[in-house]
């Protein structure tokens, strides 16, 4: 039997467990040109909260997944092949070669890393820093939601790219300590401690050159206030507004973008899939050497998928949240 996790109702603000249902169905069989994949790891991401407002009910949500081919009627996908695909929130998926990416396994690299540092979160961080913000050696970087999946990857990648100072914001003193002690950030701000703008000004007295925004709202306002002239802002996400019916107000200092000649650019990682091999070539040697680590919260068992998702939205994770399908 296969297990699907269906969304059965829409949230009004924060989502709840009763808006999902676990459904057992016969294990699907692949047709001509298809393969059956047994999912091993499933990605849990903040953007999925927005998907809940838009996707059809009574079906699994879309999500990044890593699995192995267990049955195949496609010569391009032999049994045993490790693949990445986007049919998450389920134990098994029928795929075609045009809808998957065959993964190149590397000794010493965990399979879960293909959903964290080597997955969409790592690629988001890499694109934001290298293609959008064009980080230069010696520059000061500020990263919001720095203890999450994208943020924890971005801090480590910024260091590899030669950033002079890496600053992150997060939601607790314990997470701030984790950023500094375990991930190599130079400074970490607990935004719940109050006056984020003052904290950032103290951590970056000479200003910020690059801001990778995963939050929006007050974080974007604080970053604009701290940016040096001709700084760059790469806007990746806006978790501050995902679970509220009233989005936070626009930054009150938005016009400073003009006065400081700043550049603010939003981006979607799906438009940069062609950089996946470049990301792997860049990061895998550093994973082997230990200079970067996949920062992950791995939850065991598909029956805990919903709990993992709800906990992630409340900040219960450190790094990237991943569900290991089989305990």
pLDDT digits (tens), the chain, 327 positions: 999 999 999 999 899 999 999 999 999 999 999 999 999 999 999 999 999 999 999 999 999 999 999 999 999 999 999 999 999 999 999 999 899 999 988 999 999 999 999 999 999 999 999 999 999 999 999 999 999 999 999 999 999 999 999 999 999 999 999 999 999 999 999 999 999 999 999 999 999 999 999 999 999 999 999 999 999 999 998 887 777 767 778 899 999 999 999 999 999 999 999 999 999 999 999 999 999 999 999 999 999 999 999 999 999 999 999 999 997
Residue 284 lies in a domain: no
Q: How far apart, in whole angstroms, are the C-alpha atoms of residue 237 and residue 57? A: 24
Domain range for residue 93? 2-116+294-324
Dihedral sign, CA of 230, 214, 116, 54?
negative
Q: Is there a domain that residue 194 lies in?
A: yes
Residues 126, 50: one domain?
A: no
Q: Who contacts 16 (Cβ-Cβ below 8 Å, separation ≥6)?
A: 310
Indicate the number of domains in the chain: 2
Strand, coil or helix: what is 90? strand
Cβ–Cβ under 8 Å, residues 84 and 64: yes
- Interatomic CA distance for residues 169 and 190, integer angstroms: 6
> 148: exposed, middle or buried (C-beta count within 10 Å: 0-12, 13-18, 19+)?
buried
Same domain, 130 and 40: no
Q: In terms of C-beta density within 10 A (0-12 exposed, 13-18 middle, 19 or more buried), how is residue 209 classed? A: buried
């Amino acid at each position: 039997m296969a297990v699907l996790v269906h969304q059965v109702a829409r949230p009004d603000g924060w989502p709840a467990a009763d808006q999902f249902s676990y459904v057992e169905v016969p294990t699907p069989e692949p047709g001509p040109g298809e393969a059956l994949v047994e999912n091993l790891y499933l990605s849990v991401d903040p953007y999925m909260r927005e998907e809940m407002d838009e996707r059809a009910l009574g079906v699994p949500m879309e999500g990044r997944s890593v699995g192995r081919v267990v049955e195949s009627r496609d010569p391009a996908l032999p049994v045993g092949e490790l693949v990445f695909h986007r049919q998450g929130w389920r134990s098994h998926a029928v795929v075609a070669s045009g809808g998957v990416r065959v993964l190149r396994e590397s000794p010493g690299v965990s399979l879960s890393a293909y959903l964290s540092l080597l997955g969409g979160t790592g690629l988001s961080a890499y694109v934001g820093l290298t293609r959008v913000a064009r980080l230069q050696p010696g520059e000061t970087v500020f990263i919001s939601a720095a203890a999450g999946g994208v943020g924890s990857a971005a801090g480590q990648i910024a260091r590899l790219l030669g950033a002079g100072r890496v600053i992150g914001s997060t939601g607790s003193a314990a997470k701030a300590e984790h950023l500094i002690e375990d991930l190599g950030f130079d400074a970490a701000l607990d935004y719940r401690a109050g006056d984020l703008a003052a904290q950032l000004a103290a951590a970056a007295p000479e200003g910020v050159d690059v801001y990778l925004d995963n939050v929006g709202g007050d974080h974007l306002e604080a970053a604009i206030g701290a940016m040096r002239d001709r700084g760059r802002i790469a806007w990746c996400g806006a978790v501050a507004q995902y679970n509220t019916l009233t989005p936070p107000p626009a930054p009150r200092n938005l016009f400073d973008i003009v006065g400081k000649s700043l550049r603010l650019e939003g981006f979607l990682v799906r438009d940069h899939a062609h950089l996946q091999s470049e990301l792997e070539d860049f990061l895998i040697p550093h994973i082997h050497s230990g200079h970067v680590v996949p920062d992950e919260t791995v939850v065991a068992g598909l029956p805990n998928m919903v709990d993992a998702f709800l906990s992630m939205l409340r900040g219960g994770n450190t790094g990237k949240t991943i569900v290991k399908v089989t305990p």
